[in-house]
Amino acid sequence: LAATGERDPAVLAEHFARGGAPERAAHLYLPAAEAALGGNDFARTLELIERGLACQPSPTRRARLLLVGAEAHRWRGEHGLAAEQAEEALGLVTPSVALFFQAAGLLALTAGRIGKTDRLLALS
């Protein structure tokens, strides 16, 4: 598909998923989900995240997918789900990488919104 000019990462991801290349699929589900999030299509974002997670990606890619999903949940007002995904992402990455701080920030924001002050204090 890429050789014929297909540029849509969601289409390419589905192609790789069906073709037995799950890590390549997961790699492409991420930008597809980010594009959907950027277009405020939160339902599509979460659908693409689920598909990417089903590909059993590496821990870092899983964390990135989870954080995009957490953002979609946050924008839908689903702060509990956002906090859960941010918490899982936080546990997948090394504390010294930027992704860790992104996850911690999102977790702090959502934990505060749902009244989990104990978790918020633990983060600080």
Residue 79, pLDDT above cutoff 90: yes
What pTM, to 2 d.p., does this model score?
A: 0.89
Quick check: 26 and 64 in contact, CB under 8 A?
no
pLDDT classification of 30: cutoffs 50, 70, 90: very high
Q: pLDDT class for 121, splitting at 50, 70, 90? A: confident
25 contacts 11 by C-beta, under 8 angstroms = no
Interval 106-112 mean pLDDT: 92
Neighbours of 23 (CB within 10 A): 12
CA distance 73 to 102: 15
| pLDDT of amino acid 119 | 87
Q: What is the pLDDT of residue 2?
A: 62
User: What's the one-letter identity of residue 62?
Assistant: R
For range 112-122, the mean pLDDT: 88
